[in-house]
Amino acid sequence: MFLLWGKHLNKYYLRYLPFVIVGILSLLAVDWFQLKIPELLGSLVTEIKTNGSIDLGSVFFRNTMTMAIFVAIIMFVGRILWRLTLFYASKKIEMNIRNEMFAKAESLDVTYYHNNNLGNIMSWATDDIETLEEFLGWGTLQIVDGIFLTLFALIKMFGVSVYLAAVSLIPILLIAVVGMLCEGAMGRYWKLRQESNDSLYEFTRESFTGIRVIKAFVKEVQQIRAFSKIARKNKDINIKFTRISVIFEASIEIIIGLVAAIIIGFGGTFVYYTVIGSPLHIFGQPITLEAGPLVTFLGYFFSLIWPMIALGQVITNLSKARTSYKRIARFLDTPTDIYDLPGAMEFDIQGNIEFNHFSFNYPGENKPALDNISLKINKGELIGVVGSVGSGKSTLVNSLLHLYNINEGQVFIDSVDVQHIQIESLRKNVNIAPQDNFLFQGNIKENIAFSNIEASEEEIIKNAKYADIDKDIVDFKDQYNTEIAEGGVTISGGQKQRISLVRAYMTNSSVLILDDVVSAVDLKTEDNILSQLREVRKDKTTIIVASRVSTLLNADKIIVLKKGKLEAFDTPENLLKTSETFQRMYLLQQLENKKGESYGK
């Protein structure tokens, strides 16, 4: 755990330090007491060699069995304890970082999501966090066992035979050398693997989101081929990473096996010559070794196998965790461009709006989306916004929500600069029903109440009637409890728009923006909705962005935009006389209506 450092981890190390300490102490106790087992086995061998057999009723046997039971209990309790504490800490850190990432994702401005794939973020929040958690849990176990069990065993091994213990150091040194050679390559391939996973996630997400389009154009085979290409690249990178990892782990196994054979060979030779009374000499020193101590020594050495393998795995897992942490940290360190300025105000908005020579460029764009817009909207007015595609309609209304940073002194609500209103306060008072009309997976009631979770069923039904959707809902088998798929793909476009409209009504906000929310309904339904709109929004400011002029004929005033500039701002009656854009839109709609009537005949 403590081989991986970073500001997003360090604070959690401190928070969960008591659990980590208890876990490590429990692990150390298990490591120390498990080395008692080779000692007990060695003493049994010595007893058999000395007396020819073991008296099951002897004090020696009873004491040996008592010690074995005591060691078993300590190891049992210790292993439960370190699992509970170390894995609890690692899971809690995983949970906290995942929560941080979710909160960060919510705080980032919309520009970030224009420039980054959602599949990448999903990969960071799943694969990379899981890799990190695995290292924090199992990695801590491997590090502690790898260091302390090795240290404890070597101390005891040197106490039995200095020469055999010196031979036992060979695999540890070789593992360290091989590990250093492999770590860089494993880190590089893990990074490539995770980036390949990003592409896989994004392609999968995009395909499922657009599954109806894929089926409509009979492009299933084409998508499968495209997916296979990405999956094949992912497979190749995984094979390369796995190949290096397997070579490394196989090398460790071979080294351990060879050294074990050498120890057994030399140890058996030392015992043989000791038994025949002619001990071998090394550097002029006689080497004596009995069978019991050799069994004990071999027990110590075989206790080293797991920590030596663990040390090898730590190198692999550390390379993976470092790469994953860098990706997570890069996301968490992404600057949040939309935030409350010092001294930002919180207050109840009344609904007076002013644009004062407002101009706006999207980040990275040279051409302004809006240029020199000046107008005033009074509390309680119903205002329309029209213009051709790309004229800046949505940009204008989105500026009231502080979705982007804008120049100070250009947009005001109740005479207060939007940039100086607390974002939470602003968005509680200025609500929007956006163009995309996104619905969440769940039932209709939950989607409507999303904007006001404390709303009663009576309020939900009342507002559904205002949006002319109640009669559709009650026709469903489960009515308001009808389940709908993510994005609302299981209902019609018009029904989806009206459910989104009800959700906006539920906020009862001082300023409500309806961004082209009735484009998918028929004219009769539109008339029903608009005829009740003034009752729903009495004394509150409402702004409607519309593609149909008929939607706005009862508005107090209409904003007409043309190529990002304000062409006119006046009543519908006056615009029919003064605005070329509005006149053209009105005439085109009249022709469209007449054409529809002629087809009806």
> Mind listing the pLDDT tens digit for each residue in 315-370?
778 888 888 898 899 999 988 888 888 888 888 889 899 999 999 988 777 788 89
pLDDT, mean of residues 462-483: 86
Give the pLDDT confidence score for residue 594 in this predicted structure.
Answer: 62
Q: What is the pTM of this model?
A: 0.72
pLDDT (tens digit, 9 = 90+) per residue, 185-204? 777 787 888 788 888 888 88
- Considering only residues 283 and 139, tell me which one the structure prediction assigns the higher pLDDT: 139
pLDDT at 599 over 50: no
Question: Which homologous superfamily does the CATH classification assign to the domain defined by 353-600?
Answer: P-loop containing nucleotide triphosphate hydrolases (3.40.50.300)
Q: Are 382 and 534 in contact (CB under 8 A)?
A: yes
Give the pLDDT confidence score for residue 361 in this predicted structure.
Answer: 86
CA distance 37 to 72: 9
Give the distance from CA 75 to its chain's centroid. Answer: 37
Q: Are 328 and 124 in contact (CB under 8 A)?
A: yes
pLDDT (tens digit, 9 = 90+) per residue, 20-71? 999 999 999 998 998 888 888 888 887 787 777 777 778 888 888 899 899 9
Q: Are 438 and 479 in contact (CB under 8 A)?
A: no
pLDDT at 148 over 80: yes
368-391 in b/e form (b: 16+ CB < 10 A) is bbbbebebebeebbbbbbbbeeeb
Give the pLDDT confidence score for residue 69 in this predicted structure.
Answer: 92
Residue with tokens 């966090």: 129
Residue with tokens 């088998």: 477
Share the mean pLDDT of the chain: 84
CA distance 113 to 47: 74
pLDDT at 457 over 80: yes
Give 557's pLDDT tier (boundaries 50, 70, 90): very high
Give 601's pLDDT tier (boundaries 50, 70, 90): very low
**Which SS3 state, helix, strand or coil, does residue 281 take?**
strand
Give the pLDDT confidence score for residue 597 in this predicted structure.
Answer: 52
pLDDT (tens digit, 9 = 90+) per residue, 404-451? 888 889 999 999 999 999 988 888 889 888 877 778 878 888 888 888
Q: Report how far apart, in Å, the C-alpha atoms of 503 and of each of 298, 499, 500, 507, 520 are.
A: 72, 6, 5, 7, 17
CA distance 418 to 408: 8
Q: Report how far apart, in Å, the C-alpha atoms of 264 and of each of 49, 75, 133, 539 are.
A: 19, 28, 39, 93
Give the pLDDT confidence score for residue 274 in this predicted structure.
Answer: 79
Domain boundaries, the chain: 7-332, 353-600
Q: Which CATH architecture has domain 7-332?
A: Up-down Bundle (1.20)
CA distance 86 to 142: 12
pLDDT (tens digit, 9 = 90+) per residue, 503-554? 888 888 899 998 877 776 777 787 788 878 888 888 889 998 887 787 788 8
- Considering only residues 490 and 68, tell me which one the structure prediction assigns the higher pLDDT: 68
Helix axes 523-536, 493-505, angle to 10 degrees: 0
Q: Are 319 and 244 in contact (CB under 8 A)?
A: no
Q: Which residues contact residue 384 at a Cβ distance below 8 angstroms, ignoring those fewer than 6 apart?
A: 543, 544, 545, 546, 551, 552, 555, 557, 558, 559, 572
Give the pLDDT confidence score for residue 595 in this predicted structure.
Answer: 55
Give the pLDDT confidence score for residue 378 in this predicted structure.
Answer: 93
Percent of the chain with pLDDT over 90: 16
479-516 in b/e form (b: 16+ CB < 10 A) is ebeeebeeebeebeebbbbbbbbbbbbbbbbbbbbbbb
H-helix or E-strand containing 19? helix 17-34
Taking residue 166's Cβ as centre, other Cβ atoms within 10 Å add up to 12
pLDDT (tens digit, 9 = 90+) per residue, 225-280? 888 888 888 888 888 888 887 887 788 788 878 888 888 888 888 888 877 778 77
Give the pLDDT confidence score for residue 358 in this predicted structure.
Answer: 92
Give the pLDDT confidence score for residue 489 in this predicted structure.
Answer: 67
Q: Phi/psi at 356 (nearest 5 deg)? A: -120, 95
